[in-house]
Amino acid sequence: MFDGALPGPEKWVWPAFVVEGRGRREPIASMPGQCRLSVDELIRDVEPVVRSGVGGLLLFGVPDASRKDAAGRRAFHEQGAVQKAVRAVKRAFPELVVFTDVCLCAYTDHGHCGVLDARGEVDNDATNAILARVAATHAAAGADVVAPSAMMDGQVAALRQALDREGFAQTLIMSYSTKFASSLYGPFREAEASAPKKGDRRGYQASYADPRQALLESELDEAEGADILMVKPSLFYGDILFRLRERTRLPIAAYNVSGEYSMLIACAERGWGDLRGLVRESTMALARSGADLLISYWANRYGEIFG
């Protein structure tokens, strides 16, 4: 039951983009205040986030274009950007909860979230086998929570089986369980260079016109063993958050996505609203709708906006 208070900083998770190499800091034009960071630069930026009390970090890998292939193999490389970042972050900030995104879209040369079959369609089962391998490498590096976002049928069960088999029974799974085919992912796809080269993702992401099916996706993931459910995007989906809150006792994460972040900045830059007020009101709406965790690009500015 919502008590009228915004979740404290310990319930916030900052999504960060990690690249390979050293000394790399690449501002993301469509997401002011966010950058693609090499591991050494990431550690510098995480320090003030931790000081502000933010409790979690969600890592996305951004491989160089030359490392992409049809199967996204760099995603499960032990020396990949995410795997290196997890190890470095846990050494520097052992109490910080580290989440890792488990998907292939940034790692495939075609930009889809899974491997393609001979017809050019995403092969669900073959993709699950690779996602499970990715999750196991993240857990081995020290990730506390793995977060499958590919929206493959059975992906949670595949990850749970692999994690248990590899000795990572304590690693949690936060499923992107109700993830919509949305127009609000544009800045993120720029940040990750992960837009599909052909077709779109409506075949495996939920339709925003079909809330029953979207909610069913979360119910199925809970049955498969998810520890945390998610609604993504969030600001346009308060009704979905509320309805999911009524159906489950699991924690629910609201992903305050890139387009939602950038639209508030654009509004404030044009003098059409106060940024601090816009952010505070919009994130309160997510908590009011039932979110327990807020995955938000505002997290690295928590002290500025909520202090």
Residues 307 and 304: their CA atoms lie apart, in Å, by: 6
Find all residues with CB under 8 Å of 129, minimum gap 6, and list them. 158
Contact criterion met (CB below 8 Å) for 173 and 146: yes
Query: Given 11, 90, 179, 198, which residue is catalytic?
Result: 179
* Backbone torsions φ then ψ of 72, nearest 5 degrees: 65, 40
Contact criterion met (CB below 8 Å) for 100 and 82: yes
Residues 253 and 176: their CA atoms lie apart, in Å, by: 9
For this structure, is 90 an active site residue? no
Bridge partners, 212 (sequence order): none
Find all residues with CB under 8 Å of 3, minimum gap 6, and list them. none
Query: Given 11, 68, 84, 232, which residue is catalytic?
Result: 232
SS3 225: coil
For this structure, is 197 an active site residue? no
The H-or-E segment that residue 140 falls in is helix 124-141
Contact criterion met (CB below 8 Å) for 157 and 131: no
Burial of 302 (0-12, 13-18, 19+ CB in 10 A): buried
Would you name the residues annotated as active-site residues? 179, 232
